[in-house]
Chains A and B, each alone.
Chain A
Amino acid sequence: MAASPHTLSSRLLTGWGGGCIWYLERRVTRESPRRFLHLLRNVNQQWVTFQHFNFLRHMYVTQLNRSLKQQIKPKPEPAESPFLEKTSLDEAKAEICEMRPLVPPSLSLSRKPSEKALIEPEPTSVIEGSIDLGKETKEEKQWKEMKLRVDDLPGILARLSKIKLTALVVSTTSAGFALAPAPFDWSCFLLTFVGTGLASCAANSINQFFEVPFDSNMNRTKNRPLVRGQISPLLAVSFATCCAVPGVALLTWGVNPLTGALGLFNIFLYTCCYTPLKRVSIANTWVGAVVGAIPPVMGWTAATGSLDAGACLLGGILYSWQFPHFNALSWGLREDYSRGGYCMMSVTHPALCRRVALRHCLALLAMCVAAPALDVTTWTFPVIALPINLYISYLGFRFYRDADRKSSRKLFFCSLWHLPLLLLLMLTCKRRAGEEGTGAPQS
């Protein structure tokens, strides 16, 4: 379950992280060659090993032997032969090992070649002698025993269940609960809170279970527990089951069957529809938006016991929000999506991607106007929400027109604060019981 599957999750806080890192990475890779060359000039026949760039954790190994420098990205021709032409693997392997760089492939294969200092390698025997020893020891140190330590388990499970995303999902559910026109019942609230949280953990774990090789190939997701082998697939599935069963049970019998059914449906939608669909069709984005829209609806149904217009409106707001958020983010990830085989609008239908983002920014505006009409909020709400809605629509329009990285980033970062603020404004303008309203009678 996700507020927005591929978005809030690793986008939001990993995605504050993710978005920031993405931006910073660009800057560093532009700056690093200068720093790199500066280093080379100052060193004279020294080993300059393993420069760590903090947040990227990429290692650059430079070995100076007069004019000898090592190529950072793997040379395409010899590297390709064992895998594409299936020639004598042993010889090719020997060749590759001799010239092997130490930079993780995610850097070498997905970054633009312009950012590397390209160098010609010397005869292999020279390289072999000095590099291999250092490389092998270093490589051996990176091997980790796949032994589960109980101390690490909470942290591992937190990352497996995408705890930050779960927290966001649960907060949208809480917002739905608080906005519902029913007296605030603390016990019901807590049961909904825990039940939804467990259901979200289960769905996220299964999602990670399905996506191990894909996650390995994308920078954003390559440090997940299953990718790093910190937990076995069996344990991940068991954990998911141990979360899903009590979670849904709690919602069904502790709250009401409708909320339980929605929770179960959402888990199914996220794991069995959205996750596989990501690699099949761009329709995944719409399915994912529904997945993100359901939690606040669950909060509402938990409080009122019924699926009325207000619930649908709240769901609609979350649904529409997903599009500017995700489409803007995916604009900068097109290369990774293409290489990983993900069918995303930003890759296959870029014009549609921008159009949809803009369309839903405007839909958000319209829905905020509908809120008082449906007795969810007072008429103050659309008025005070107008500035932020207009702003995001403006950024959506800029993204639509300019279609560049700058506008996509601006839209993405705006969406990050737009939603919490919007929900907060809704809460402050909530229509209290007994107030005169123009909408339908409360259920």
Chain B
Amino acid sequence: MAPRRPAKRLVTALCRAFSGRGCQLAPKRGAERRDAAPSRVSRFCPPRKSRHDWIGPPDKYSNLRPIHFYIPENESPLEQKLRELRQETQEWNQQFWADQNLTFHKEKEEFVRSRLKAKGLDLRTASGQKATLNAEEMAEFYKEFLSKNFQKHMYYNRDWYKRNFAITFFMGKVALERIWNKLRPKQKKTSS
């Protein structure tokens, strides 16, 4: 069995090279973190002997669970295409939802603040807690937010459906390819 340290370094290097993400072994901070690829990457790295993808906890901004894709040694071009498509879709999705949630949160705060000001109320109640509007007042904001972002949602939906179908289609192709590869050596054996 290979010594642990070189293996660990190799894994780290591979992770970085292929996934383009800062796959760092915890705990690392400061400069190491800044070297990470420009996306909300996790510092998670799967165990060396794992041969599957790993899925993490929901991202705190996008609520989507990030996937760490496993790269097999003998990855075929089709498998690579699938992985890259999934990776790219994941980043696109994360970006959209993080943006969506944060915008929502920010605009909601602004709305509450402006309404409270218009009513002449403080931003905090007597007990020190943040003052809020009731559900009916908030409903106005929800309606406005929805109609304002309608076009954006339409484009997102269309793109999401396309990507989802594409990914599933490629998964199917990859699965067929693997089955075919498994059968082929057997065919060679039986023919010779």
Contact = CB atoms under 8 A, between A and B. Distances in A.
Interface of A: 33, 74, 76, 79-80, 82-84, 89-91, 93-94, 97, 100-101, 104-106, 108-109, 112-116, 118, 128, 132-133, 136-137, 139-140, 142-147, 209-210, 212-213, 216-217, 222, 227-229, 232-234, 237, 276, 279-280, 334-335, 337-339, 341, 343, 347-348, 350, 403-405
Interface string B58-99: 111111110110000000000000000000000001010111
A216 B139 CA distance: 22
Interface in B124-181: 125, 129-132, 135-136, 138-139, 141-143, 145-147, 149, 153-154, 156-157, 160-161, 164, 167-168, 171-172, 175
A347 B102 contact: no
A84 B103 contact: yes
Contacts of B175: 234
Given A97-B33, A279-B153, A212 B50 contact: no
Which 5 A/B pairs are nearest by Cβ-Cβ distance? Answer: A338-B142, A229-B55, A341-B153, A234-B171, A142-B57
Contacts of A143: 42, 44, 46, 54-57, 68
Contact of B98 (A83, A100, A338, A347): A83
Given A93-B34, A112-B132, A341-B153, 7 more contacts: A80-B106, A108-B60, A132-B29, A145-B46, A210-B164, A216-B64, A276-B161
Nearest to B47: A145
Contact of B109 (A76, A91, A212): A76
B183 interface: no
Interface string B109-133: 1000000000000000100011110
Contact of B154 (A82, A89, A90, A280): A280
A212 B94 CA distance: 12
Interface residues of B, number: 73
B19 interface: no
A217 B101 contact: yes
A228 to B, nearest CB: 7
Contact of A114 (B38, B60, B132): B132
A279 to B, nearest CB: 5
B164 to A, nearest CB: 7
Nearest to A140: B44
Given A136-B26, A146-B67, A334 B58 contact: no
Contacts of A339: 100-101, 104, 145
A94 B132 CA distance: 31
Contacts of B149: 341
Contacts of A341: 100, 146, 149, 153, 156-157
Contacts of A137: 26
Given A93-B33, A113-B130, A279-B153, A105 B171 contact: no
Nearest to A33: B129
B142 A209 contact: no
A347 B33 contact: no
B172 to A, nearest CB: 6
B132 A89 contact: no
Given A93-B36, A114-B132, A105 B101 contact: yes
Given A113-B130, A339-B100, A341-B153, A216 B52 contact: no
Nearest to B146: A338
Nearest to A141: B57
B146 A343 contact: yes
Contact of A79 (B64, B65, B97, B102): B102
Given A84-B103, A113-B132, A139-B44, A90 B38 contact: yes
A216 B63 contact: yes
Contact of A337 (B27, B39, B130, B142): B142
A190 to B, nearest CB: 33
B60 A142 contact: no
Contacts of A133: 26-27
Nearest to B51: A147
Contacts of A112: 130, 132
A130 to B, nearest CB: 11
A347 to B, nearest CB: 5
Give the residue among A33, A116, A234 with the most B Cβ atoms within 10 A: A234
B65 to A, nearest CB: 6
Contacts of A100: 60
A405 B101 CA distance: 24
Contacts of B9: none
Contact of B168 (A83, A229, A234, A403): A234
B16 interface: no
24 contacts: A83-B102, A91-B34, A104-B63, A105-B63, A105-B101, A109-B61, A113-B130, A136-B26, A139-B44, A146-B67, A209-B168, A212-B164, A213-B97, A216-B62, A216-B97, A217-B101, A227-B65, A233-B171, A234-B168, A276-B161, A334-B138, A334-B142, A337-B146, A347-B139
